[in-house]
Every structure is written in C-alpha cells, then in structure tokens.
Amino acid sequence: MTISPTRVVILGGGTAGWMTAASLIKAFQPHFCTVRLIESDEIGIVGVGEATLPQVHDFNDFLGLDEPEFMRETNATFKLGIDFSNWARNGDSYIHPFGIHGQAINGVPLFQYWLRARLNGHNTDLESYSFPIVACRNNRFDFPSDDDRSVRSTFAYAYHFDAVLYSRYLRKWATARGVQRTEGKVVDVTLRPEDGFIQSLTMQSGEIIEGDLFIDCSGFRGVLISQALKMGWEDWTQWLPCDRALAVPSDRSEAFTPYTRATAREAGWTWRIPLQHRTGNGYVYSSRFTTDERAAEVLLGALDARAQAEPRMLKFQAGRRQQSWYKNCLVIGLASGFLEPLESTSIYLAQIASNFLMRLFPGKTIDPKLAQEYNRLVDIEYERVRDFLILHYHANEKPAEEDPTGLWRYVREMAVPDSLLTKMETWRHRGHIHRYKDGLFAPPSWVAVYTGQRIFPQNYDRQVDTMSLEMVLQKMAEMKERVAVNVEAMPTHADFVRDYCFDPSAKVMMEDAQ
C-alpha cells in the first residue's frame, strides 16, 4: 500500500516558520511528509528575538548545525545570562545567569547557606558565588566543563544572533533538504464547507496551494488562525501593559558582553544585545504611559554608540491564542502568543512548539485529542513564562521620583495571578521553590530574580542548620575563591569569539582585541 505524504504548508518565513520547516524536514522522510513554506519578500520580518536561551542548542544539534559556521553566518556571540539594571530601584543591577549560584552542599543549594549567613548579619554578595555571573561581570567566556564536580560545569550558554540572518541560514539549510519555498502573498483562504478545515490558500499569482496541515507562522497578523479561522486571543495586558517596541541597531561599542542587558526605563525597558558586527537595541514600552516621540528619545539616549538607522516600531498585545491548534491549523511563533522578550523566550517558545508538533504529529487524519494535548502543553509553557515576566515588573520599590510615568506604581499595585502569588509567598517565607516538570523556569532562575529585585526570604531551609555558622561561612568563602580563580583563567569573550567563530566583516572586533 502506498500512502501519499502528508502535505504541510507553512505560512510565514520568519524565525518561527523556518525553525518549524527545518525541524519537520529533518524529522520526516519525503515519502511521509512534504513541507512547503510560503513567504513574501514584501512583508517584513520581525527580527526582535535576537537573544536566546540554552535550549537552542538542542534545536541546532537536532539539525546537526556546525556551531562555528552557524555563529559566523548569523554574526553570533555567546550569552551567559541577562543583566537587569534599574529594576527594583534605579542603580540596582543583577544577573540572571544560565546556571546556579555556587555548588550545592550536602544536596542543598548554596543560596540557602547564603540566606542563613545573611540572616545572621553576614551580608555577602550572592553573585560572587555564581560562576556564570562572575564570568559575565568580567566579560569572559569559555565552554562548560563535562566534569560535574567542577564549578566550571555549573552553567549553560546561549547565543545572541541576528534573527534575520538565522532565518536565512535555516532557509538555506531547509531548502537544500527538500523544503519547497514559494514566494508570494496569500490573498485568500478556502475552508472546506463540511468541517471548516483549511482546504487551500490562494496566492496573488492565482496559484492555489492545497495542504493537509497548515502552520500559521505569519506573526502578529495570524492570517490563518485569526483572520480565516477566527480563533480568539486571551489578553494579558492587565499584567504586562507594554504594547509597543522601537528597535534600532547601533555600532559595536567597547563593551563586548557575554550577556544581554535589560534596563528598566520610565515606561518599560530597553534591551541591548551585542552581536559581532553591531549592537541590537530596543525599547519595549506601554503607550498608556508614554508617547512614541518620548520613547524614541529615551531609546536613542540610551545607546552607547552611533545609531545605524531610524528606530522601527512594532505594536503588539501581550497574551496568547485561545487554542494554538484548531482544526488542521497550528500556530507557531508570535501569532500563538506574545510575551515581550524580557527573558529571551520567543525562539524557545517556537522551538518547543515544533517539538510538541513532532511528538504529536497527526498524519493525514487529525485526531482532535492530539490538538487538545498540544494546546495543553503549549498553555503550560506560556503561563509559566508569563508569571516569571510579571514578577520582574511587580517586584519594584521605585519611589515617585524614579517613576515619572506611573507605570511602576501600576505594576507594583496590580493584582497578580494566583499562581504567582503562591510562589512568592512560599519564597518569602523560607526561600522554597517548587520544581515543576514542564516549562521554564527552573529554581535558580527564580532565585536570581527574587534576590535581584529585593524580595528576600525571612528564613532558610532547615537542612542548612546541620552545619555550624562558622563552617557555613568558611564553605562559602571557599566557593567564592574557587569561582574567582576559575574565572580568572578564562579567555575574554572578545578573544573567544575571534578565535572560534569570527565573521571577518566584523572589523571592529579586531581593533577591540588589540
């Protein structure tokens, strides 16, 4: 018996579209599934998701990408975490690392020992025990060690890259392996009269493209899921009031950081993402609390080098699609949910969605149970990221003089979801964080943000009491020393990138390195 392949049609050639196309073509053989991607040269690609999470390794490894080549092609740099400046109060700064704060002692995380010391008046800097944070503060980079006893194994890394170049790179990779690319605009969507499934897309050229499964990666507009299938949107702006972003590239500057910087501003926050050849910048803000003109002024004023273009504006609404898989249409990327890139989650969310799709791939006849499970899994991911983002806003102590627009007072006083409230209570009481099975983020991430935003537990894990306070202080001092010595031995981020994956067109790097 010959079975005709399942025809997958992807609409939209941004990062989400090409990541999905690449995964499918890698996982499936041509007799089983064909992949066609429609993109229009006229429709711009939203290239804001330039900072990633360590999970992107799994994706690149699954495809079998060569790391130095991929980094050269996308002007990538390494990322060990995110620096959050001015969040709880102006002048504050903390790093959310891709790793832990020191190594566990007797199976209990080091920060619990730190809490005990702190409650006894020994107010040491939690960051000084974290290998990835100290590496960030010194602009160092090296690969993690395989030896899990070593402090050099206590972190993971991700990348900063140019999302437009990454899409192009994946496009080249995927089309070489059989993804059929069609250039043009979709002007009409035809639904099957009997069940409302999508039957075909009509192109401006008149061509009609049929398919079994349609994946909407068309971004904010949601051409299939929203315009054609009318699937609703769950609005989260009451918790995440930012609804606009201005983005602008600038010349590479002195600071070649192995981390992203997210700086709280009067009506939102600005990002700073160092690439090999330039720096990506942007300002995410709430139009309720500022004007576009003022926002542009704030963004340009925050640059540490010459702007390379006029700021480009994006409008959005925080929230998620009520169902990300409906009938024979799945939505991956921004049309599935929008969460501002404060924790660099957009590429992760597209990646995890395409993983779920591969695990639940329907074949030609679609069992609605698969869609139900897909939606359940996607919802868990979005909700967990949402709560974590809300925490960044909510946990601020900005007095009126640091809050000219009133945004920070609003987010401090707003009611947060119960799921977050419960987490915060347990944390405040004794620093406990429940490790959940699915979704971001793991306990060390919560530790970084809570402590970095001045929310401290009133107590600590009792298991720490099995050691005398003197011994605790001594162990902590040893950890700090071990971190410092090991970071000292690392190359600088600039040197490492130059030797490993340097794109020769990024001339500034050479000057930096000398």
Partner 1 sequence: MTGARAELDRKLKVVILGRDDALWLSANVLWRAFQQAGLEITVIELPSLLRAGDVYPTLKQQEAYHTLIGIEEAPMMRASQATFSLAQRFANFSRNRPPFMHAYSTYGRDIARVPFHHYWLKARAQGAKAEYEDFSVNAAAAKAGRFFIPGEAVDGFANCDYVYHLGAQGYCHVLKTVATQRRINHRPGRLADVVRDAQDGRITALKLMSGETVEGDFFIDASGQESLLLGAALGVKTESWQQWFPCDRLLTTYAPPLSPLPPFSQISAFRSGWVGLFPLRDRTAVQAAFTSHELSAEQALEAAHMVTNMRLNPDAIISPLFPGGRQAYWHKNCVAIGEAGVVFDPIDSVRMHANILGLSHLISLFPVSRESMLESAEYNRNVGAAYERIRDYQMCHYLLNQRNSQPMWDYARAVQPPELLKYKLELFAARGNVVQYDDETFEDDDWAAMWLGHGLFPKAYDPLVDQMSDAEAIQHFQRMLGFIRANVEPMKPMEAYLGMAPAAV
Active site residues: 79
Out of 172, 192, 429, 507, the only residue in the binding site for partner 1 (CB under 8 A) is 429
Tell me if 3 contacts partner 1 by CB under 8 A. yes
**CA proximity to 311, closest of 290, 331, 282:** 282
Angstrom distances, CA of residue 488 to CA of 98, 145, 153, 418, 484: 19, 15, 16, 44, 6
**CA proximity to 115, closest of 456, 486, 378:** 456
User: CB of residue 242 vs partner 1: minimum separation in angstroms?
Assistant: 30
Q: Contact, 215 vs 9, CB < 8 A? A: yes
Residue with tokens 């035809």: 190
Map residues 355-374 to x or -, x wherever contact with partner 1 holds by CB under 8 A.
Answer: ---xxxxxx---x-xx--x-
Q: Which is nearer to partner 1, 280 or 362 (CB)?
A: 362
User: CB of residue 151 vs partner 1: minimum separation in angstroms?
Assistant: 24
Structure tokens at 139: 């602009």
Given the rule CB under 8 A, which of 15-23, 141-149, 164-172, 436-444 is the region that contacts partner 1?
436-444
Q: Which is nearer to partner 1, 358 or 513 (CB)?
A: 358
> What is the C-alpha end-to-end distance of the chain, expressed in Å?
66
Out of 436, 477, 485, 505, the only residue in the binding site for partner 1 (CB under 8 A) is 436
User: CB of residue 226 vs partner 1: minimum separation in angstroms?
Assistant: 27
Tell me if 459 contacts partner 1 by CB under 8 A. yes
Q: Are strands 337-338 and 77-79 parallel, antiparallel or unpaired?
A: unpaired
Instruction: Kindly write down the DSSP assignment for every residue of 407-475, as one continuous string.
Output: HHHHHHHSPPPHHHHHHHHHHHHH------SSSS--HHHHHHHHHHTT---SS--GGGGGS-HHHHHHH
Given the rule CB under 8 A, which of 26-34, 39-47, 331-339, 493-501 is the region that contacts partner 1?
26-34
Structure tokens at 394: 């909510």
Tell me if 460 contacts partner 1 by CB under 8 A. yes
Q: Which is nearer to partner 1, 54 or 363 (CB)?
A: 363
**CA proximity to 409, closest of 226, 241, 263, 203:** 241
User: At CA 276, angle to CA 22 and CA 23, rounded to 5?
Assistant: 5
User: CB of residue 384 vs partner 1: minimum separation in angstroms?
Assistant: 11
Q: Contact, 197 vs 362, CB < 8 A? A: no
Angstrom distances, CA of residue 137 to CA of 91, 131, 343, 381: 16, 10, 19, 30
Show contacts with partner 1 in window 95-134 (CB under 8 A).
Answer: 119-121
Reported for 414-417, long-range contacts at CB under 8 A and 24+ positions apart, including other chains, are 414/238, 414/239, 416/239, 416/387, 416/390, 416/391, 417/239, 417/386, 417/387, 417/390
As a whole number of angstroms, the distance between CA 365 and CA 158 comes to 38
Tell me if 425 contacts partner 1 by CB under 8 A. yes
As a whole number of angstroms, the distance between CA 340 and CA 24 comes to 27
Tell me if 465 contacts partner 1 by CB under 8 A. yes
Q: Which is nearer to partner 1, 190 or 466 (CB)?
A: 466
Main-chain phi, psi angles of 509, to 5 degrees: -60, -40
Site size toward partner 1 (CB under 8 A) is 39
User: At CA 258, angle to CA 255 and CA 264, rounded to 5?
Assistant: 75
User: CB of residue 505 vs partner 1: minimum separation in angstroms?
Assistant: 37
As a whole number of angstroms, the distance between CA 343 and CA 449 comes to 11
Instruction: Provide the total of helices (H) and of strands (E) in the chain, helices listed first.
Output: 15, 21
Show contacts with partner 1 in window 33-52 (CB under 8 A).
Answer: none
Angstrom distances, CA of residue 401 to CA of 89, 139, 222, 480: 11, 33, 41, 36
Tell me if 230 contacts partner 1 by CB under 8 A. no
Q: Which is nearer to partner 1, 205 or 466 (CB)?
A: 466
As a whole number of angstroms, the distance between CA 387 and CA 378 comes to 15
Residue with tokens 């990646």: 351
User: CB of residue 415 vs partner 1: minimum separation in angstroms?
Assistant: 19
User: CB of residue 336 vs partner 1: minimum separation in angstroms?
Assistant: 21
Out of 18, 19, 28, 51, the only residue in the binding site for partner 1 (CB under 8 A) is 28
User: CB of residue 499 vs partner 1: minimum separation in angstroms?
Assistant: 34
Q: Which is nearer to partner 1, 192 or 369 (CB)?
A: 369
Tell me if 419 contacts partner 1 by CB under 8 A. no
Out of 69, 292, 438, 481, the only residue in the binding site for partner 1 (CB under 8 A) is 438
Q: Which is nearer to partner 1, 137 or 454 (CB)?
A: 454
User: CB of residue 386 vs partner 1: minimum separation in angstroms?
Assistant: 17
Tell me if 61 contacts partner 1 by CB under 8 A. no
Q: Which is nearer to partner 1, 89 or 432 (CB)?
A: 432
Q: Which is nearer to partner 1, 306 or 437 (CB)?
A: 437
Q: Which is nearer to partner 1, 304 or 373 (CB)?
A: 373
User: CB of residue 111 vs partner 1: minimum separation in angstroms?
Assistant: 14
Given the rule CB under 8 A, which of 41-49, 400-408, 424-432, 476-484 is the region that contacts partner 1?
424-432
Given the rule CB under 8 A, which of 14-22, 256-264, 428-436, 474-482 is the region that contacts partner 1?
428-436
Show contacts with partner 1 in window 439-458 (CB under 8 A).
Answer: 458
Out of 145, 150, 238, 426, the only residue in the binding site for partner 1 (CB under 8 A) is 426
Residues at the site binding partner 1, with contacts judged by CB under 8 A: 3, 6, 27-29, 32, 119-121, 358-363, 367, 369-370, 373, 422, 425-426, 429-430, 432, 434, 436-438, 458-467
